[in-house]
Amino acid sequence: MILGDIPSRVVMKMNFLFPDRPYLKLLYFLTMGKRLHLSDPKTMNEKLQWLKLAQRDPLLTSLVDKLTVKEHVAKAIGRKYVCPLLGVWDSFDEIDFDTLPNQFVLKTNHSGGNMGVVICDDKSRFNISEARKKLNSSLSFDIYPGYREWPYKNIRKKIFAEQFLGTDIVDYKFYCFNGDADCVLLCIDRQKGDPKFYFFNKDWQLLRYNKRGKEAPEGFTLPKPDNMDEMFALAARMSKGFPFVRMDFYDVNGKCYFGEYTFYPASGFDFNRLPETDRYFGDKIDLSLV
């Protein structure tokens, strides 16, 4: 039985009292409702917790930093896959909006998900005060203390602007195991505030790996981008050497852009994957690579 969100949040507020290992074991029990087996992890969730404690390669910090990763990606696969950068600032009040185009995206370089993202599709209607509030809130948040994701510990926080790519862009999240891009997770309707996730294999068949996929009607599908094979190949190439990493890409009018490296999806507390999927992915993660 999952004990609920409130006990987990209480423990997270007191995270400074606990060393990494006992903290993760306690948080896992409160969040997932079962013991965390770090001595012999089997599932993906368990192995991601193990990797949080074991992975200490400084490269990971530069890969999860949304600014420094741009140069890494440009060297690895080409600058054409990198969303153009429009500006970088240490604080929100340093931003000179007059220098930005009519459409742009503001992000913080250390945050996950949509927490540190503000989209401007028309500067004449852009709410600067709301953007300041959201991005300053993001700057004050640290992933490491509450979730123990070590790569985020030493990121120097910044705000940056990127080229606007569109409003309803589909997220393609490739689950990769040491160079094997096993499948892709699509995220749709994120901009509407109602994100929906579906897994597909390389042959574009729906995989009933999560709750939403399991409940999808027979024959359910989503549009397949023309460059899906290219994205699978890029994800496989860039994930070589990592026991697991989720490689994120965007498709914009037939052109793909790199999104981010995600080493610990849902921070290893994902209860939307089916138990058999959690074990299947866990079997594919080779911890001996660390």
Dump the DSSP string for 223-280: PPPTTHHHHHHHHHHHTTT-S-EEEEEEEETTEEEEEEEESSGGGG---SB-HHHHHH
For the ranges 1-15, 19-33, 272-286, which has the lowest average pLDDT? 1-15
**Cα distances (Å, whole numbers) of residue 262 to 11, 63, 66, 160:** 24, 9, 11, 19
What does the alpha-carbon distance between residue 42 and residue 50 come to, in Å, rounded to a whole number?
A: 10
Task: End-to-end CA distance of the chain: give it in Å, rounded.
Answer: 32
What's the pLDDT score for residue 8? Answer: 83
**H or E stretch including 85?**
strand 85-89
- Percent above pLDDT 90 for the chain: 86
Give 98's DSSP letter.
G
- pLDDT tens sequence across 137-153: 999 999 999 999 999 99
**CB contact at 8 A, 224 and 209:** no
Kind of pairing between the strands at 206-207 and 196-200: antiparallel
**CB contact at 8 A, 165 and 119:** no
With b for 16 or more beta-carbon neighbours within 10 A and e for fewer, the 257-289 pattern comes to bbbbbbbbbbbbbbeebeeebbeebbebbeeee
- pLDDT tens sequence across 170-229: 889 999 999 999 999 998 877 677 888 999 999 999 999 999 999 999 999 999 999 999
Q: Please name the residues in contact with 268: beta carbons below 8 A apart, sequence gap of 6 or more.
A: 28, 44, 45, 46, 48, 49, 52
What does the alpha-carbon distance between residue 131 and residue 119 come to, in Å, rounded to a whole number?
A: 9
**CB contact at 8 A, 107 and 175:** no
- Percent above pLDDT 70 for the chain: 98
- Amino acid identity of residue 124, one-letter, is S
Q: Is the pLDDT of residue 9 over 60?
A: yes
What does the alpha-carbon distance between residue 96 and residue 81 come to, in Å, rounded to a whole number?
A: 27
Give the residue among 266, 289, 192 at the shortest CA–CA distance from 27: 266
**Cα distances (Å, whole numbers) of residue 207 to 111, 148, 156, 202, 248:** 29, 30, 38, 10, 18
Look over the chain and give the mean of its residue pLDDT values, rounded to a whole number: 94
What is the pLDDT confidence band of residue 1, given thresholds at 50, 70 and 90? very low
- Amino acid identity of residue 246, one-letter, is R
Q: How many residues does the chain have?
A: 290
Q: Looking at residues 60-81, what average pLDDT do you find?
A: 98
What's the pLDDT score for residue 6? Answer: 61
Q: Is the pLDDT of residue 157 over 80?
A: yes
What's the pLDDT score for residue 178? Answer: 98
- pLDDT tens sequence across 118-127: 999 999 999 9
Q: Is the pLDDT of residue 94 over 60?
A: yes
Q: Is the pLDDT of residue 255 over 60?
A: yes
What's the pLDDT score for residue 120? Answer: 97
Task: Read off the pTM.
Answer: 0.94
What is the pLDDT confidence band of residue 5, given thresholds at 50, 70 and 90? low
Which tokens go with 23? 């903290």
